Amino acid sequence: MFRAEFSDEARFSQLVGAIYDCALAPQRWRDTLASLASLLRSAGSSVIINESHDTKAGHIFEHGVDQKYLRLFFERHAAEDLRDPVQQRAVLGIPKTLKLLCSEQPTAREFFENYLGSQGLGDSIAVQILHSGRRIGWLSTARTGVQPVFGRHERALMQLLSPHLCQALALSDALDLATLTASNLERTIDALAAGLFFTDGGGRVVHLNQSAQRLLENGDGVRLVGSRLVITDRAANALLARALTAHDYKEVAPVAVGTILAIPEGASHGYLASVLPLDGGIRRDLMAPFRAKACIFMQGGATVR
């Protein structure tokens, strides 16, 4: 819940909306990071997305102070986690100071001590916001050495933002980091491997892409009942229903809108589902032809335990 002592409620909600806009238009990360740095009183922020097969390839979005050594840090250490993908996803969205992160990865400690501090960077918070089969993504925000360390207020804000950051990166990864435009919208959506279900304010499906149609025809984990998407797993269906009716980022971030749902479908496999609110920003304008309030992204091949 968004506690009363947070005085920046309007800025927080605007930032969350901007984060979701980045799912459809990744080039907006630079401006969004500027807003995040302002809210957290940071000197700079960055989103670094590395390709899993080559950590030197990927995308970097930055605002503020020169973060070349932070880029080098994540380039070197993003792929060091040797746990299985399910365990790795379990730590997504947990903000940590970079010093703590380095203490958990001994090979990174020397890098932190010898390079980051010497470049004038002070306290830093990092959070892993993506770990898919294709990409690994991190967000970091840093203060200079002359600024105080991040306080309880900033750390709590980062904890509230983290589920939305994870959601936006998951959706952006499903879109293959494509920038959607009105001219290529429907063609791009139909070409996606992820199933997309567009829903109105009552949760009724008003449009779906070809992958979503195939998912309904070939799977048994989801179905349409009275134009509504129903998940056969009751717990996941309840979370989906809550996400589709949520209107307040602050109240539902840890549970619904910011949650990537695991949908079992026989054995240990199933789907991952995410809900993208279409209630503002470029999301509302771009998706206007579908007359939808939300879009459910659903990807198969997930390991669900």
Q: Are 129 and 46 in contact (CB under 8 A)?
A: no
Same domain (yes/no): 150, 283? no
More confident position, 71 or 160 = 160
Mean pLDDT, residues 1-5 taken together: 44
Tell me what pLDDT residue 56 has: 64
Tell me what pLDDT residue 239 has: 82
Tell me what pLDDT residue 303 has: 46
pLDDT in tens, 149-168: 898 999 999 998 998 898 89
Which of 114, 147, 174 corresponds to the end of one domain? 174
For the chain, where are the E strands, in sequence order? 44-51, 54-64, 96-97, 121-131, 135-144, 195-199, 205-208, 222-225, 228-231, 261-264, 269-277, 294-303
Q: Is the dihedral of CA 35, 38, 42, 43 positive or negative?
A: positive
Three-class SS of residue 104?
helix
Same domain (yes/no): 165, 191? no
Q: What is the CATH number of the domain that holds 91?
A: 3.30.450.80
- Give residue 101's pLDDT band: very low, low, confident or very high (50, 70, 90): low
Q: What is the CATH number of the domain that holds 204?
A: 3.30.450
Q: How many CA atoms lie within 13 A of 91 on its CB side?
A: 16
- Give residue 207's pLDDT band: very low, low, confident or very high (50, 70, 90): very high
In a domain, 16, yes or no: yes
Same domain (yes/no): 231, 252? yes
In a domain, 2, yes or no: no
Same domain (yes/no): 211, 272? yes
Same domain (yes/no): 164, 294? no
Tallying the residues shown for the chain, one arrives at 305
What phi and psi values does residue 219 have, to the nearest 5 degrees?
A: -105, 165
Element (H, E) at 98: helix 98-104
Token pair 């380095």 is found at 102
- Give residue 78's pLDDT band: very low, low, confident or very high (50, 70, 90): low
Note down the domain range covering 104: 9-174
- Give residue 37's pLDDT band: very low, low, confident or very high (50, 70, 90): very high
Q: Are 23 and 276 in contact (CB under 8 A)?
A: yes
Which of 146, 174, 202 corresponds to the end of one domain? 174
CA distance 262 to 182: 31
Same domain (yes/no): 164, 225? no
Amino acid sitting at position 16: V
Number of domains in the chain: 2
245 CB-contact burial (10 Å; exposed 0-12 / middle 13-18 / buried 19+): middle
- Give residue 242's pLDDT band: very low, low, confident or very high (50, 70, 90): confident
Same domain (yes/no): 20, 169? yes
In a domain, 1, yes or no: no
In a domain, 4, yes or no: no
Query: Which pairing describes strands 54-64 and 261-264: parallel, antiparallel, or unpaired?
Result: unpaired
Tell me what pLDDT residue 21 has: 92
Same domain (yes/no): 153, 196? no
Same domain (yes/no): 115, 29? yes
- Give residue 298's pLDDT band: very low, low, confident or very high (50, 70, 90): confident
Tell me what pLDDT residue 122 has: 77
pLDDT in tens, 112-142: 666 666 666 778 888 889 888 788 888 989 8
Q: What is the 3-state secondary structure (H, E, C) of 144-188?
A: ECCCCCCCHHHHHHHHHHHHHHHHHHHHHHHCCCCCCCCCCHHHH
Q: Are 140 and 128 in contact (CB under 8 A)?
A: no
Which of 141, 174, 207 corresponds to the end of one domain? 174
Which range scores top for mean pLDDT: 183-187, 204-208, 247-251?
204-208
Mean pLDDT, residues 223-227 taken together: 89
Mean pLDDT, residues 91-113 taken together: 69
Same domain (yes/no): 209, 69? no
Tell me what pLDDT residue 89 has: 55
- Give residue 259's pLDDT band: very low, low, confident or very high (50, 70, 90): low
Same domain (yes/no): 58, 108? yes
Cross-strand partners of 238: none
Same domain (yes/no): 139, 193? no
In a domain, 260, yes or no: yes
